[in-house]
Amino acid sequence: MRSGKPTVKTPLHPEPAVSDDKGRKIEILRAAAQLFHQKGFHATSMSDISKAVSLTKPGLYHYVESKEEMLFAIMDHAMNLLQETVIIPAQAMSDPEQCLDLIIEMHAALVMKDRVITILTDEMAGLNPEHFELLIQRKQEYFRLLRGTLEQLQATGKIRSLNPTVMAFSIFGILLWLPRWFVPGGDLTRDEVIHQVKQVIYGGIMQPS
């Protein structure tokens, strides 16, 4: 596990300001996600989170009732980001080739920019059964979109006769692993990584010209 906590410069205050509740809650969720990523969900306490966001524990409980609720809120927020930036735009596309390209490009860009997405696969076991099922349903909707897009491309002969489920899971595996190794400011820019990820995926599934 990586150690360390995010540096917070805001002063400690006992109660949150009501006027910016939504923005403050997102800030709290992002800080909690970072701690869950560093220490693990079970090893992170509400005290750890309250210190990271410069709130008292009563102030933190103004926003969430429990650590499990916070975990679900993080994952739900991440799925909302995916829904807005990837799923809805992809569903609006009639061309399956353009749809696949958008899914790969936008999902890759999102997870490299916003590491909170990684929590979707890291800590699902920490959810209660109801929340777990809700997240699974949303993830399955996205999976069906990608697999259906691959099936359409297969029907036109544009991609190889591989199992669509295997291809879909393989693509997600590549995309979800990006935040674990991509270093902003490193040798490759985000755009360069996205370009090469596309080459890897298309090289594996597309029919030779």
pLDDT digits over 107-116, tens only? Answer: 999 999 877 6
Instruction: Return d(Cα 152, Cα 173) in angstroms, integer.
Output: 21
In the chain, CATH 1.10.10.60 sits at 18-64
CATH 1.10.357.10 fits 68-205, yes or no: yes
Q: Find out whether 35 and 44 touch, Cβ atoms under 8 Å.
A: yes
AA identity, residue 96: P
Ramachandran category for residue 185: left, alpha or beta (phi over 0 → left; psi -120 to 50 → alpha):
left
Q: How many CB atoms lie within 10 A of CB 150?
A: 24
- Taking only the tens place, the pLDDT of each residue in 121-144 is 778 889 999 999 999 999 999 999
206 SS3 class: strand
* pLDDT reported for residue 135: 93
Are the C-beta atoms of 146 and 106 separated by less than 8 Å?
A: no
pLDDT at 20: 67
Q: Residue 19: is its pLDDT beyond 90?
A: no
CATH 1.10.357.10 residue spans of the chain:
68-205
Helix or strand holding residue 196 (H, E): helix 190-205
Cβ-Cβ contacts under 8 Å for 180 (sequence gap 6 or more) = 118
* β-sheet bridge partners, residue 55: 13
Is the dihedral angle over the CA atoms 147, 153, 154, 156 positive or is it negative? positive
Q: Which CATH class is domain 18-64?
A: mainly alpha
